[in-house]
Structure 1
Amino acid sequence: MKKLNKMLFLSVLVSVGLALSVLESAIPLPIAFPGARLGLSNMVVLITLVVFGFTDGITVAMLKSIVLMLVTGSVSSFIYSFSGAVLSCIAMYFGYRYFSNIFSLIGVSILGALSHNFAQVTVATIIMNNLKIYTYLPFLMLVSIFSGYFVGLASTYIIRNLTVSFNIIFRR
């Protein structure tokens, strides 16, 4: 893929991730766990990791968090979002790169969701200087399994259709 086309495609992915993040914050969840989200924008990061690799995946994850902060003006949310996005991207990369014979994209997505929540709870623990915040982690991990499953399922479907529709060569 030519450099300009790749840059344009990655820009579109960042924009889609941003739109999904904003949309997701407007969707009320049927559960009352503060901080629990669907993680729809993580589809974009997972797709970028699979299609373009780690460097572009982490770039999209970080840009999505930075632009979201600029759009919403919420610096405190940025700290949690950025840390979760970075750790999640790293975990999904290692899961996909080294354990794709064990994990499907659904498993990789669940790994990313679990690590995303772990990073956010760790940041909250550091900021509030209170280890008891970790007691909230099991509830978030349970939500992560379900949200990671659906994000992985949707990502699998999207990647399969991208290969057919646009003949993108994936590194696998």
Structure 2
Amino acid sequence: MEFMENQGEQAPIDKNAAAEEAAVAAEPTLEMQLAEAQAKIAEMQDAFLRAKAEAENIRRRAQEDIARAHKFAIEGFAEALVPVKDSLEIALKIETPTLEALKEGVDMTLKQLSSAFERNRLLEIAPQAGDKLDPMKHQAVSMVPAEQEANTIVTVLQKGYTIADRLLRPALVTVAQGK
């Protein structure tokens, strides 16, 4: 036993009794901490399961949206082309067309088609003679002797097209050889 001074008096202190009192006082605290931790775990598990379900729903909705977009991607373009087809069918129904009427009908149909291309961001690549060859937009099919700078366009054999800034078909060109 140890003795402790208490206002000038000495009283015996039992270490085991003090430890037991501390343990008894600490036990409810540990039980409360355990209960709090278990409640927090249950709450976090619930939040995790909800977040996981929400992520799965978002993924599923995104897949459905992509499938719908693929299915109807050309709908606008198709709507723009229907009048062009109608015009061509009307032209074929004419019994005795004149050359002038056919030319006028083809011109109007070409304007309808060009308008449909523009509305759907399908743009022509139409380089001019003398333009520098751009391998990202032009495909050189041959080199010919010419009185112009090397690697410049001499003739355009076929126009190219881009759709929404992406190359659909390069323009086919001949280019000048070096002098």
TM-score range, shorter chain: under 0.3
TM-score by length of 1: 0.25
Larger relative helix fraction = 1
Higher normalized contact order (CA 8 Å, seq sep 6+, divided by chain length)? 1
